[in-house]
Amino acid sequence: MMDGKALAARIREEVAAEVAGLSPIGLATVLVGDDPASDVYIRLKHKASTEVGIVSRDVRLPAATTEAELVERVRELNAAGSIDGILVQLPLPDGIDEARITAAIDPMKDVDGLHPFNAGQLLLGRPTYVGATPVAVLALLDAYAVELAGASAVVIGRSDIVGKPAALLLLQRHATVTICHSRTRDLAAEVARADVVVAAVGAPGLVQADWVKAGATVIDVGITRTEAGLVGDVAPNVEQRAGLLTPVPGGVGPMTIAMLLRNAVKAARYRAGTLAFPAS
């Protein structure tokens, strides 16, 4: 089992030491509406930020907020001198075009890497900001020294926030990458070829033990709330087949929070000019 919790704790300590040597770092989150899962994520992000000395601003807007009002709030945060990084929690309520909102964020403050400029930089192999979850996937693979160059990697899920950027990061590390999704014909056969499997769907127990190549590394990004607690996309008996596997909870989740903190430090460096942000 890959211990995301322990690794995340180490990274948070590193971030805290770095933050102590910098001017105050401001991270703003924007939550529209009262989705309970989003509320939990936002709370975790603020708690973790505060613990490492990052100053977080929790912007909460009613579910009835219009797209134009939200764009206006984002622009205020773009202009705010005390704010280095901005994260708009997704999903947004119906009627708000997420693409319009992410495109309104100043690319230099876009810690989730969703602005077309930052997403494009990743596509071109010159990453600036990459979202915390895909970076967490790579950090876990690196921490356990999983060989990626030449390896066959299967990413299940093609969202802009997890699947696509995770696949691009793996490609950048010279893996042979297959992206699977809801229309994939034979998911079992695709998974069976993989040395590395990244499951980011939100379908409890989707990945079965008999699909997985013996000794493969399996990263379970999925989180579904059930009466029995949080469960991932990977069936429990995969533990017997996989060489390495991330638990849910305690795998990608805590690492995602740690990587968001790292992205906030990056934001402060970009704004201070100690790290060059490419011209957009």
Kindly tell me which of 103 and 203 has the beta carbon lying closer to ligand NAD: 203
- C-beta contacts of 227-236 below 8 A and 24+ residues apart: 231/204, 231/205, 232/199, 232/204, 233/156, 233/199, 233/200, 233/201, 233/202, 233/203, 233/204, 233/205, 233/206, 233/207, 234/199, 234/205, 234/206, 234/207, 235/205, 235/206, 235/207, 235/208, 235/209, 236/205
With CB under 6 A as the contact rule, the residue among 107, 157, 165, 247 that binds ligand NAD is: 157
256 interacts with ligand NAD by CB under 6 A: yes
Q: Is 48 in the site for ligand NAD (CB under 6 A)?
A: no
The pattern of x and - marking residues 125 through 144 that bind ligand NAD according to CB under 6 A reads: --------x-----------
Kindly tell me which of 113 and 157 has the beta carbon lying closer to ligand NAD.
157
Burial class of residue 197 (count of CB atoms within 10 Å of its CB; 0-12, 13-18, 19+): buried
Name which position in 11, 15, 130, 156 contacts ligand NAD (CB under 6 A). Answer: 156
Between CA 157 and CA 177 the distance in angstroms is 13
Site size for ligand NAD, by CB under 6 A?
A: 25
49 binds ligand NAD (CB under 6 A): no
Question: Whose CA is closest to 109, among 275, 266, 239, 274?
Answer: 266
Q: Which of 26, 85, 107, 163 binds ligand NAD (CB under 6 A)?
A: 163
- The set of catalytic residues is 45, 89, 112
Pick the binder of ligand NAD from 50, 182, 237, 280 (CB under 6 A).
182
Nearest distance from residue 159's CB to ligand NAD, in Å?
3
| Using rule CB under 6 A, residue 192 touches ligand NAD | no
**Under 8 Å CB-to-CB from 186, ≥6 apart: which residues?**
none
d(C-alpha 67, C-alpha 96), whole Å: 5
Among 253, 264, 265, 270, binds ligand NAD (CB under 6 A): 253
Binding site for ligand NAD (CB under 6 A): 133, 156-159, 161-163, 180-182, 184, 187, 200-203, 206, 221-224, 252-253, 256
